[in-house]
A and B are shown apart, each in its own frame.
Chain A
Amino acid sequence: MSQSELEQKPGLSIWRVIIFYGVIAAVMLYYVFRLFTLQIVSGEDYRNRAEDNRTMEVSLPTERGSIYDRNGYILARNIPSYNLTIIPANLPADEGATQGIFRQLSELIDIPVNNGEINEETERNFTPCQTDLGISQIVFIGDSLAPFNPVRVKCNIDAAVAKVIAEKSKDLPGVEIEIESVREYPTGSTTAQVVGFLGPIPAIEQGYWESLGFVSNRDKVGYAGVENSLNEILIGKNGRRIVEVDNAGKILRDLEPPVVPVPGNSVRLTIDTRLQSIAEAALVQWMNTWNLRLGEQKYTSGAVIAMDPKTGEILALVSYPSYENNRMARLIPAYYFEQLQNDPHRPLFNTAISAEHPPGSVFKMATAIGILNEGVVTPEKLINDPGVIRIEEKFFENDPNPRTREYVCYLYKDTGGGHGDLDYLGGLSQSCDVYFYKVGGGYKDEVPEGLGIWRMGEYARALGYGQVLGIELPGEQDGLIPDPNWKRVTVGENWSTGDTYIATIGQGYVLSTPLQVLVSVATLANDGKLMRPTIVREILDANGEVIQPFQADMLWDITKDPMIHVYDEDFFQTGELKTVEPWVVDMAKRGMREVVANGTATDAFIGSEIPSAGKTGTAEYCDDIAREKHICVPGSWPAHAWYVGYAPFDDPQIAVVAFIYNGDEGARLSAPVVRQVMDGFFELKEIDTGLETASNP
């Protein structure tokens, strides 16, 4: 080849030039193809990414509504908390000046100028406010992430220090004080079980909250109490700006008109903080008095609820032990939360609405209206209490091998005797177990046909047992009214006569919450009208205008709404429904008055000026805790103390329940607490109506 090429002078070998043309053509065609792929085929995709680059959504935080008690006393509000932030891009360009600013800040906020090393690990693990790094390191990381975004150097600095820094702001370019809103609970642990606390958006609900425009790691949601149950009302709506940003994160302009945040509504609760304090003090002091007397920490937890029986408004709701919700205001400290969770007395658990325990004798009120309404006995009929009765325990009709068991009245344990002959009022006021065994389960010829478990359940449900009543607090439980079907399914055993006896007096399988016990008696006090217990009085907008006034919510009236199923002789429902006769309700009220006037609660209410009515309860139980302590001794079981009452008798204004876990005896432990709450209520009433000066010259 060389010979022929050498002759082609001057100029270039044609085929070699052609190959060069070929290379140019190949490269350029490939580039045009590549350009086409990028711009036309995937153009949409890249346009979206470019759009993502330049648009940023800025969430404008809303303000959570406040929580007040019924008199306008603040239970939860927002207070400012100051964070020191630095915008790295706004620091002086001169390194020396920047270091000077850092040194000044270091003295004020007590964070070293230099600490720790910058490497991939520390950069990845960096969490503002929770870092050991020095100011320089924090700013360096912030600068590398987004130089125009403020990076938090220290959170929750002293208000005075914040003020000093704010005043010096001209000399401290790039340094800013960020004001963050945190929750404050002036009444603390007294109302913690009602008010609750806030926490960060949980990871599992992140999608939900973010779809509503909330920001994880910034916005908080309610974790407990009304902060949780009324979260939707309180939380408000974040505002939003769609802005154009440049590569450094600097906001250039709004791309859309900004949406301003809508502040949350405020809530006025039905709680009276003063009564709440009285109730808490009454419960705690009385338990402590007895603990001192007994020389052991025997009584450790309990609940008190006070309610207006006519409206269902909860005036006080105490669950003891409680917790300090102010400690969760900024963030939930892990050690404190762990401590609360591991506490055997369960301070985070709302005993008043979530604890399910046997109600004991307070449950007799359900049986009591049942026996009269069903005509099992007349009020005058005398039933004999010999102290102990023996019946054959039959698990099904014609059981060939019945077991004979003894059923005793509580009096028998102490005296060896019984109450003798008692009528209806006597049976109630003495809380005579044998009276209720006989009328509830039937006894030989004396009461040929007792009320029976099915019909007892009807009356219990009519008074609010066995269901969730709908108070606006998280964690309300429904309790349990057992019946033969339930027992067969759950326990795997047939229902026996003895089960009915025990259920009649609110023990055995029967479970209820303190709230249900309160509502059952409040319903009777209110002449059969069951008011839904409520904790919310009014909802106010951000300007304090009432947007939802209070309205009492009657769920049903047992004397008017037919809700008692009629059963045939084989205990099948006939499909008919009936009401409770008004005179039955009246008799039940008279019975409860007798309890105070001339019965089990008489001692507790000696000298009380305002006539009240009520019912004691001492509910034997044996749960895991008792079993562990080896106190489940047959014949001498541990017992919860109950008392539920209302006052004044003729015009009920307040109904109160007190429950003390393992409280031994309702009349001794719980009734005095209820009395103190009632006394406190009427005293407050006098103060409020200005009558105090008149009565105490």
Chain B
Amino acid sequence: MFKKEVWRHFDYWLFGAVLLLSVFGIIMIRSAVAGNEELAGSVQSQSIYVGLGMAIILITTAIDYRLLVSISRWLYILTIILLIGINLIGEEAFGSTRWFQIGVINVQPSELAKIVMVLVLANFFSQASTQQHNLRWIMRSFMLTAGMVVWILLQPNLSTSIVIFVLWFAMLWISGLPTRFMVIFGLIGLIVLVVFIILIVSGVDIPFLEDYQITRIVNFLFPDPSARHGETYNVEQALVTIGSGGWFGAGYGNGTQVQLRFLKVRHTDFIFSAMAEEFGFVGTVIVMALLVFVVLRCLYVARNAADQFGALVAYGIATLIFFQMAVNIGVNLNVLPVTGLTLPFISYGGSSLLSLVLGIGLVESVAAHGKTLAF
């Protein structure tokens, strides 16, 4: 390894922003779980994950991303095996099977699958970049994606499946998806969405959709204003929580909606709302800006990458972070139906954090090793 060269091109801005967000996440989780005995260990475990995560970034940076090209096929197969394994023997948690317990660490193969799919798709599109961008090209990339997603859908885990399909589409788009397909895809997407909503509203069973997922969507489209608990109540309380923040917020640990537990799932899905109450408009916009900075920094690395594979990897990670963040904030602001997607780096959850820092590590690797060939 060209150690000196590697660290000369290491993106300290990106690392710094991620570290800042992760530490802020720990602080916010501490406030969100205050007074809840069951969740008292969250702060400690998240701290361990953040420490572990930073190490992963550094280790991954040190590895030349090009090495991953050769093993991406094996990673793809391994991940599918893990996903099948989880469907067979995994532990039940929150109604659907998603976890592997390895020691103290819960490994969620579907989180890993996101990163693996970034690598696999980046490999596919960089190798196929000389090919004709025709329907066959699109279908091959689609089959590659579907081969992974089908196992995630079976868990069932709709949100991760959607994330991976969005990833596929974003990679397809950046790799030169012709405009005519774009239009066709757009139309198909629109029709599917309309049919989907009609089916849901008319109460028809849809494969891969659990009842609670249908309820979420129905609640989003037709909220029941008098609900005392359940999804609508949670979303409504999130709005109250955000709204009561004002310009500068109630102050750390002083948000009544958070501290008195009117806000539900406040350390994971709704940590954005908790933050908005305690730090207000100004604080929240700063955190949002920091997240956008991370995305933009990834894109900067992508644009300055030494090769197509590296560029696509960095771009893929940027898409992943941006999409998760946009969906999570959208749910908090009640402009999207409730999903299980967390706020990158800030929400509680080791698996999600680990896969994200793995992604950041890859981006750092692209940044650091890109220039090593250019001497």
Contact = CB atoms under 8 A, between A and B. Distances in A.
A20 interface: yes
Contacts of B311: 10-12
Interface residues of B, number: 54
A47 B261 contact: no
B129 A6 contact: yes
Nearest to B310: A10
Interface in A221-256: 244-248, 252
User: Most B CB atoms within 10 A — which of A1, A45, A49, A145?
Assistant: A49
A131 B246 CA distance: 46
Given A10-B306, A24-B322, A34-B333, A16 B174 contact: yes
B303 A11 contact: yes
Given A2-B176, A11-B303, A35 B260 contact: no
Binding site of A, secondary structure by majority: helix, strand, loop or mixed?
A: helix
B246 A12 contact: no
A117 B284 CA distance: 47
Contact of A10 (B176, B256, B277, B305): B305
Contact of B276 (A27, A28, A30, A35): A35
A53 B262 contact: yes
A31 B336 CA distance: 12
Contact of B260 (A16, A34, A245): A245
Interface in B332-351: 333, 335
A47 B244 contact: yes
A285 interface: no
B307 A50 contact: no
A43 B280 CA distance: 10
A36 B322 contact: no
A13 B176 contact: yes
A13 B174 contact: yes
Contact of A247 (B260, B312, B322): B260
Interface stretch (B93-101, B207-215, B234-242): B234-242
B261 A49 contact: no
Given A6-B130, A54-B262, A38 B256 contact: no
A46 B256 contact: no
Contacts of A246: 260-262
A5 B229 CA distance: 53
B333 A9 contact: no
B257 interface: yes
A46 B315 contact: no
Given A24-B295, A27-B326, A40-B246, A35 B284 contact: yes
Given A17-B299, A32-B288, A12 B174 contact: yes
A11 B305 contact: yes
Sorting the interface of chain A by its residue count into under 10, 10 to 19, 20 to 34 or 35 or more gives 35 or more
B325 to A, nearest CB: 9
Interface string B212-233: 0000000000000000110000
Contact of A11 (B176, B261, B308): B308
A104 interface: no
B240 A46 contact: yes
A36 B281 contact: yes
B129 A49 contact: no
Given A11-B303, A39-B246, A50-B257, A247 B262 contact: yes
B132 interface: yes
B285 A38 contact: no
B54 interface: no
Nearest to B263: A247
Contact of A2 (B132, B244, B256, B276): B132
A2 B178 contact: yes
A54 B260 CA distance: 7
A42 interface: yes
A21 interface: yes
User: Most B CB atoms within 10 A — which of A17, A51, A144, A252?
Assistant: A17
B261 A248 contact: yes
User: Most B CB atoms within 10 A — which of A17, A39, A51?
Assistant: A39
A52 to B, nearest CB: 9
Given A10-B308, A20-B174, A247-B260, A32 B246 contact: no
A50 B276 CA distance: 13
B303 A39 contact: no
B247 A16 contact: no
B273 to A, nearest CB: 10
B186 interface: no
A285 B246 CA distance: 79
A89 to B, nearest CB: 13
Contact of A50 (B173, B174, B240): B240
A303 to B, nearest CB: 54
B288 A40 contact: no
Given A24-B295, A38-B333, A47-B246, A53 B256 contact: yes
B302 interface: yes
Given A38-B333, A45-B243, A10 B307 contact: yes
Contacts of A35: 242, 276, 281, 284-285, 333
Contacts of A2: 132-133, 176, 178
B333 A46 contact: no
Nearest to A245: B260
B239 A31 contact: no
Contact of B292 (A20, A28, A34): A28
Interface string B123-141: 0000001101100000000
A38 B249 CA distance: 13
A475 B291 CA distance: 76
Interface in A15-72: 16-17, 20-21, 24, 27-28, 30-32, 34-36, 38-40, 42-43, 45-47, 49-51, 53-54
Given A16-B174, A31-B330, A246-B260, 13 more contacts: A1-B178, A2-B132, A2-B133, A12-B174, A16-B176, A17-B299, A32-B288, A34-B333, A38-B333, A50-B256, A50-B262, A53-B260, A252-B260
In the complex, the 7 A-B pairs of residues with the closest C-beta atoms, listed nearest first: A46-B243, A50-B244, A247-B261, A246-B260, A47-B244, A39-B281, A54-B256
